[in-house]
Amino acid sequence: MIPIKTTNARTDHVPYLTYGLIIANILVFLWETTLPPAALRSSLYNLAIVPCELGNNLISGETALDFLRSMFLHGDWLHLGGNMLFLWIFGSNIEDYYGWRIFALFYVVGGVVAALVQALVVSNLCIPVIGASGAISAILGSYILLYPGIKVRVGVVFFRFFFQTFLLPVWLVLGYWFAMQLINGWFSLGIETLGEGGVAFMAHVAGFIFGAVFAFGITLFKGLPPKTYA
């Protein structure tokens, strides 16, 4: 299922930070495309988290920068486009509820937690952990808890040729997404081919759980968001 848009979600404020994050990710990727393959590979290893090297210098300013930079690096246009689509669709409501300051902290911490869990799970692999999907997974975890009444227009491809759209509740769409990440993450554990790269399923799982727990904690003090959807 590919989310296309939410159909009954409204916000009280313009989500400038969400838009800014999308622009920043696109600009960083455009910079990546200017590098020759060898230079790009070297840059990814120098700028991002590499699991097999993390234990050598876990607590340092450089490692903190690696975690931050990893969130803005992507492997290809599909990787970037998928992440930015989810950020575009689901980020605005979460920023609206948290406020941009808390949202900024939440986004960074969620991305760090997700990347750290992924790096610990595959600590023997010497490939960079890159992408915004850990932080975006945290957004999804918060979304399913805070806005279960939202409806999402999703597209489904049948037999590779037939494209059909459906209107589904967000708890079903994101619940299905999380279940797939959990199942794929479980079955990918210990697979040696991950050394060639692949989807960081456990980062998605960790980010989603972090986002849900964070949202629950915020509601204890702030209450549930008003029903800004029809």
pLDDT at residue 191, as a whole number:
53
Counting Cβ atoms within 10 Å, is residue 196 exposed (0-12), middle (13-18) or buried (19+)? exposed
Residue 193 and residue 47: Cα distance in Å, rounded? 23
Residue pLDDT tens, the chain, 230 long: 788 888 877 888 899 999 999 999 999 999 999 999 999 999 999 999 998 888 777 778 888 999 999 999 998 899 999 999 999 999 999 999 999 999 999 999 999 999 999 988 888 888 899 999 999 999 999 999 999 989 999 888 776 666 788 889 999 999 999 998 988 877 666 554 444 456 788 899 999 999 999 999 999 988 888 765 55
- Reduced to 3 states, what is the DSSP secondary structure of residue 168? strand
Contact present, 195 and 127 (Cβ < 8 Å): yes
CATH number of 2-222: 1.20.1540.10
DSSP string, 93-122: HHHHHH-HHHHHHHHHHHHHHHHHHHHHHT
Which residues partner with 9 through β-bridges? Answer: 229
The first and second tokens of residue 150, run together, are 């939202």
The strands making up 2-6's β-sheet, listed across from edge to edge, are: 2-6, 151-158, 162-169
Rounded Cα distance between 214 and 106, Å, is 8
pLDDT for position 229: 56
Q: What are phi and psi of 198, to 5 degrees?
A: 155, -170
Query: 0.75 cut: is pTM over it?
Result: yes
Q: What is the pLDDT of residues 104-115, one digit of tens each?
A: 999 999 999 999
Q: Which of 165, 135, 133 is nearest to 151 (CA)?
A: 165
